[in-house]
Structures are given as structure tokens and as C-alpha cells.
Amino acid sequence: MHRKTKVGKLIESYPFAMGWMIENKLDPEGKENMTLEEILDEFSPEEIENLAMDKAGLMESLETFIEQMKSFLGIKEETRVRTLTILPGRDKSGTPEGFDELTIKTSEIISIVGPTGSGKSRLLADIEWTAQSDTPTGRSILINGELPDRKWRFSSNNKLVAQLSQNMNFVMDLTVIEFLQLHAESRMVVDIEGTIHRIIQAANSLAGEKFDPETPVTALSGGQSRALMIADTAILSTSPIVLIDEIENAGIDRRKALDLLVSEDKIVLMATHDPTLALIADKRIIIKNGGIASIIETSDEEKSILVELEKMDSFIQSMRTSLRQGEVLNVINN
């Protein structure tokens, strides 16, 4: 089944396959665009004899290893989320919501906008709970176009949603590197050191002020904590859907944060009051009186407006940086 799969894609889908390949003297570095069969074909008859290599046996062994690990980790192919569909319910007055259905694909960003108290967080909760007409809104959630498996609600190993809230507080007395190591080990990551390095590097590219791997997590600022958890969610979390509640005040590079999450094939939904974030999204859900009033696709004209908003954003960010560094602002800063 996997003998025709490119090694890079295979390791992306099953990180534990890296360990199997190295153990069997099949270092995949530089061969990500080759299949296992093609890699094995590169060995000369003499090398095959010296290594006592059984090509057919190795390919069968890989299939067995992957199936065993999938069973051990509780991974099922059909659980991979490709689409999330929201079916309409009703607002606080009982009026039907103003859309037929909304289907969101992986690597899409959806913003959720509306006045404070309008019901943005309720929509996020309906998605996290995979509502089936059993919440106050009466909405239903489909996964891959079908009724979701009950495990999305009740399994501790198969979390549909990773939720990033505005306030994050660590209580564990661990350094950043210790915290990430625990998480990586729990996910049975093969290259723990490389994965931790990638997460810290990504987090520091998001944070306004970089932090050291040996920094206690309890000593991180709000922005640093948020940056760390976004990078951790993007790179280590198996949850295919990320719900973000008000990222605008997190003290991080928001555009980079969203790009990072989308690059890892996540579905991203974010409740926001920020016009820049609202327009970065592919579509935005308008919430009024507890219900979805409409769904608007970001137009070309709005994308032009977004360019100007991001210029303003960049200017404000540069002013913020200058102030933090103790500089005196003047006309030259402009």
C-alpha cells in the first residue's frame, strides 16, 4: 500500500516511519521525492548481499510496522479530517440562520466577526463539541461530509480541535525545552531534538521578544507563551482544527502565526475584532444575536484594503518596537 508513496510524504503522515528507515539502513535524507521501492533499487547486488537485504521482505515489513503503530496509537485513516461542515441552526430569537451550509477545507482560514456577546464563542464551542442539534443553537457539525465519530467528543487520544484562548497560564515547573520534550515523547516523535528546535525557532519568529530554551515556561511573557503554544500546536498537535479566540492582543506576529498553522494543513477558525485578521481570512462568518447572519468571501477589493491595513499594522509595530527599545519617536520614525 505504501511502497509507491514518496518517502517525504510517508514520513509526514507517519513520523515514526523515520525510525524504521534509519534502523534498516535506509537513510531518507535527500530522498524525500523517492519511493521506498526506488531507494531499494539504488542498492547494488553486492550491497544487498553484504547487508543481507531482502527487498520484498523490507517493503512488507514497512507495511506491517505502519499498521502496528497505527493500531498502537489509535490512528485510523478515515479519521483524517479533510473538511468541516457547519449546518445551520437558529439565533437567540429562534430565527433560522442565514445560510444553507458552510464547508471549510484544510489550509483555509475563516474569521468569525460580530459584536461582543453576539455568539462567536458559542460557534467555536459548537465546533469543538461537534454539535448534533444538541446545543442551544441547534447547529450540526459534519466531518468529511458525514456525521462525526463519537471519539471526537470523548477520546483523549483523538482530539478534533486545538483551542488557543486569549489567556494562557503555565503551572508546570519546567523549562521550555523540558515542556516540549514531554509533549514530543507523548506523541512518539522520532526526531525529538529536531522537532523541539523547529518549534522554538518558529515560536521565536512569532514572539516580539525571543526566549531561551532553558527559560522556565512560567517566566514567559503573555506573547511568548502564545507564540510557543501556536508553534507547538502547528508542529506537534495532531488536532486538525485550530480555534483561536482573539489573537489580536497576543503580542505576536499574527500573519506569521496564521501562515504557520495553515502550512501544517490545519483548518483555522478565529474569532476576532481586528479588521486585518478578518480580511486575511478566506471567508468571514458574521454573527448577530447568537446566530450566523451571513458568510462573506473576501473580495479582491477587500484584499487591496488588506494591503493598506498591513502597512499600517507594520508601522504601528515598528513604533511599538522603538518604544520598547527606549527610543524617542520623531518624524524620522514615520
Residue-wise pLDDT for 310-320, tens only, equals 898 888 878 87
* C-alpha cell, 237: 498537535
More confident call, 56 vs 126: 126
Q: Measured between alpha carbons, how far is 214 from 178 in angstroms, rounded to an integer?
A: 8
Residue 189, helix vs strand vs coil: coil
Q: What is the pLDDT of residues 11-44, one digit of tens each?
A: 777 888 888 888 888 887 888 778 888 888 888 8
Give yes or no for residue 333 having a pLDDT over 80: no
Question: Residue 46: what pLDDT?
Answer: 84
Query: pTM of the entire structure?
Result: 0.68
- With respect to CATH, is domain 79-298 assigned 3.10.105.10? no
Question: Residue 40: what pLDDT?
Answer: 83
Locate all alpha helices (DSSP H) within the chain, ordered by sequence. Answer: 7-13, 17-23, 36-41, 45-50, 55-73, 120-128, 151-154, 176-186, 192-206, 222-235, 254-263, 275-280, 300-324
Label residue 230 left, alpha or beta by phi (over 0 means left) and psi (-120 to 50 means alpha).
Answer: alpha
More confident call, 88 vs 173: 88
* C-alpha cell, 12: 509526514
Which residues lie closer than 8 Å to 250 by C-beta, 6 or more apart?
166, 222, 223, 226, 227
Q: What is the pLDDT of residues 72-117, one digit of tens each?
A: 776 655 457 889 999 999 999 999 998 999 999 888 899 999 998 8
Q: What is the pLDDT of residues 220-245, one digit of tens each?
A: 888 888 889 889 888 888 788 888 87
> What secondary structure does DSSP assign to 19-74, as a single string?
HHHHHTT---TT-TTSBHHHHHHTS-HHHHHHTT--HHHHHHHHHHHHHHHHHHHT
